[in-house]
């Protein structure tokens, strides 16, 4: 069955309320804990992986320790690809700023490579990769989870990126205005990618 794609435009009337709830310091959402970027130039650390649990993952020692042990197995190759992505995406333009999808896809080749590397590591998926990398690169790495897949009627990261890119660009005016009303807990501008996920995810 094909699921019809939704649009962020359908959330416009409820967007301010969703953002206020998710960024509240009293309601227990992840924003005030997860959205601390940390040291921007640091390589991946175990804490970076575990922080993804704040976005409803259940990563445990079995998922983290192998990445940081010596060897050349799938887990170590995944960590290497994540470190490469952190470096390559550090100075990438914002997700929605690319005029053509092909330019965006070239910019996120290292993200796509990490998604591929995750396929060989048990319990890791593109969802895991997105929640680990987004916190460190919120301007270019889209958050992917079951709600985002369902919202856009997609089953794979590539189609989700395209749908998000189209949707954010189409609605960039009001999204930019809304994002400007909030800062992250560590004082950074709220990215449109993070805002989009908040609007899709928040009840």
Rounded Cα–Cα distance for residues 58 and 37 (Å)? 20
Please check whether residue 94 lies inside any domain of the structure. Answer: yes
Instruction: Report pLDDT digits (tens) over 124-142.
Output: 999 999 999 999 999 999 9
User: What is the tally of structural domains in the chain?
Assistant: 1
- For residue 5, name the pLDDT band (cuts at 50, 70, 90): confident
Q: How far apart are CA 67 and CA 56, in angstroms?
A: 20
> Both tokens of residue 13?
């009337």
CB count in 10 Å sphere of residue 12:
14
Q: Which residues contact 93 (CB under 8 A, 6 or more apart)?
A: 107, 140
Query: Does residue 87 belong to any structural domain of this protein?
Result: yes
15: enclosing H helix or E strand: helix 12-22
Establish if 17 belongs to a structural domain.
yes
Mean pLDDT of 79-94: 98
pLDDT > 90: percent of the chain = 97
Residue 1 covered by a domain: no
- Establish if 76 belongs to a structural domain: yes
Q: How far apart are CA 105 and CA 162, in angstroms?
A: 9
User: Is residue 33 in a domain?
Assistant: no
pLDDT of residue 3: 46
Mean pLDDT of 113-128: 97
Q: In the prediction, which pLDDT does 2 show? A: 39
36 found inside a domain: no
Does a structural domain hold residue 41? no
Are the C-beta atoms of 87 and 113 separated by less than 8 Å?
no
Confidence at residue 85, expressed as pLDDT on a 0 to 100 scale = 98
Average pLDDT for residues 85-102, to the nearest whole number? 98
* 3-state secondary structure (DSSP) of residue 154: coil
Long-range contacts, 61-69 (Cβ 8 Å, 24+): 62/123, 63/123, 63/124, 63/128, 66/121
- The structure tokens listed for 18 are 């969703």
What domain range includes position 107? 8-25+46-201
């Amino acid at each position: 069955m094909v699921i019809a794609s939704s649009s962020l435009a359908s959330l416009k009337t409820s967007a301010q309320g969703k953002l206020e709830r998710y960024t509240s310091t009293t309601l227990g959402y992840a924003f005030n804990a997860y959205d601390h970027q940390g040291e921007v130039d640091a390589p991946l650390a175990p804490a970076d992986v575990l922080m993804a649990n704040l976005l409803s993952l259940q990563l445990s020692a079995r998922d983290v320790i192998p990445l940081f042990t010596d060897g050349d197995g799938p887990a170590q190759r995944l960590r290497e690809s994540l470190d490469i992505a952190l470096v390559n995406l550090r100075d990438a333009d914002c997700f929605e700023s690319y005029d053509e999808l092909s330019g965006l896809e070239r910019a996120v080749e290292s993200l796509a490579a990490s998604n591929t590397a995750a396929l060989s590591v048990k319990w890791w998926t593109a969802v895991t990769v997105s929640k680990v990398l987004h916190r460190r690169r919120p301007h270019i790495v889209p958050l992917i989870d079951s709600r985002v897949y369902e919202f856009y009627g997609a089953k794979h990261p590539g189609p989700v990126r395209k749908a998000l890119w189209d949707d954010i660009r189409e609605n960039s005016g009001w999204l930019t205005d809304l994002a400007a009303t909030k800062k992250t807990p560590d004082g950074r501008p709220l990215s449109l990618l993070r805002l989009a996920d908040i609007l899709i995810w928040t009840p």
